[in-house]
């Protein structure tokens, strides 16, 4: 009996749908909806396509500019990707806005997420920023000998978060870039020449003219010592136990340590040959004997 009632009801609804007036109303409503939202969809698609083209152009521009500046390939790839992703995020938000979607909450969520990530990665971001600046401004390069963060060594690898040094005794030291960026950096490899400073102490009984003559002879016999700037042999200090001569020699940076060690050895040998004493700290101890009355 229920099926007999349902069939007339369905037939009645179909008849109403086939009514020309109803169909015209439905078509008019569909046209209005399609016209209203179709234009928004087309605008959103246009914004997305144009925005993607601009983002790709921006990535190529950043890559080209940084490549001309001689930036590290790691930095170039990372920076261009960040620029592209940032631009595409803006494009997506703009496209959603064209569809009538409220993007205020979406932007707020992205901002909160970015803040939380930034706080969680504070140390890593500091290292990244310092590494980025070091690669851009290049206070040193791979192969330079530097003194920084309390250590001295040859720069082996410069990475975005850390810098690796190798010491003279072949130890590997990995330093966070934030520590390097916040400390003084002494680069021993940037200049073609360096000055070797020596202090030679002689006895107060020594003939100062003879000492000067011996030191100047040692210097003149070493071809590695540069004549310009002129070497200096100066009486620099009347110390507690010795008269100290300051010897200043200019050499090529690559010859620094060899000249330093060889000159120290030559000074000792030549001073011994000339009978000039090189004193060392000493004390005179006087013992007094007291007799009881």
Instruction: Enumerate domains of the chain plus CATH numbers.
Output: 13-119 (1.10.287.1260), 139-187 (2.30.30.60), 193-274 (3.30.70.100)
Task: Indicate the pLDDT class of residue 130, thresholds 50, 70 and 90.
Answer: confident
Q: What are the pLDDT digits (tens) for 51-77?
A: 889 988 988 888 888 777 666 676 677
SS3 145: strand
Characterize 188-225 residue by residue with b for buried, 16 or more Cβ atoms within 10 angstroms of its Cβ, and e for exposed.
ebeeeebebebebbbeeebeeeebeebbeebbeebeeb
Task: Supply the DSSP string of 238-277, one letter for each residue.
Answer: E-SS-EEEEEEEEEEGGGHHHHHHHHHHHHHHHHHHHT--
Q: Are 259 and 193 in contact (CB under 8 A)?
A: no
Q: Are 194 and 250 in contact (CB under 8 A)?
A: yes
Q: Which token pair is 254?
A: 């690559």
Please provide the size of the chain in residues: 293
Lookup result for tokens 């400390």: 183
Q: Is the pLDDT of residue 121 over 50?
A: yes
SS3 119: helix
pLDDT over 90 for what percent of the chain?
Answer: 37
Phi–psi pair at 193, nearest 5 degrees: -125, 155
Q: What are the pLDDT digits (tens) for 252-284?
A: 999 999 999 999 999 999 999 999 988 877 677
Q: What are the pLDDT digits (tens) for 178-206?
A: 888 888 899 999 999 999 999 999 999 99
What is the structure's pLDDT at 244?
Answer: 95
Positive or negative torsion for Cα 97, 102, 108, 114: negative
């Amino acid at each position: 009996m229920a099926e007999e009632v349902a069939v007339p009801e369905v037939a009645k609804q179909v008849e109403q749908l086939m009514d020309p007036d109803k169909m015209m109303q439905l078509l008019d409503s569909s046209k209005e909806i399609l016209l209203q939202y179709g234009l928004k969809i087309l605008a959103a698609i246009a914004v997305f396509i144009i925005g993607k083209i601009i983002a790709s152009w921006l990535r190529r521009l950043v890559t080209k500019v940084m490549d001309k500046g001689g930036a590290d390939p790691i930095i170039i790839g990372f920076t261009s990707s960040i620029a592209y992703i940032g631009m595409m995020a803006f494009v997506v938000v703009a496209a959603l806005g064209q569809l009538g979607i409220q993007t205020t909450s979406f932007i707020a969520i992205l901002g909160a997420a970015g803040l939380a990530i930034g706080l969680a990665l504070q140390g890593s971001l500091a290292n990244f920023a310092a590494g980025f600046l070091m690669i851009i401004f290049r206070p040193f390069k791979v192969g330079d000998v530097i003194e920084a963060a309390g250590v001295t060594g040859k720069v082996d690898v410069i990475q975005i978060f850390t810098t690796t040094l190798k010491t003279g005794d072949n130890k590997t030291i990995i330093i966070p870039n934030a520590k390097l960026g916040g400390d003084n950096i002494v680069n021993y490899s940037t200049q073609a020449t360096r000055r070797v400073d020596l202090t030679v102490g002689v006895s107060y009984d020594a003939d100062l003219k003879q000492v000067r003559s011996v030191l100047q002879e040692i210097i003149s016999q070493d071809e590695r010592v540069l004549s310009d700037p002129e070497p200096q042999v100066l009486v620099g200090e009347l110390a507690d136990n010795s008269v100290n001569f300051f010897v200043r020699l200019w050499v090529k940076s690559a010859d620094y340590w060899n000249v330093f060690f060889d000159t120290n050895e030559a000074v000792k040998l030549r001073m011994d040959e000339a009978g000039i004493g090189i004193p060392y700290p000493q004390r005179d101890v006087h013992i007094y004997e007291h007799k009881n009355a």
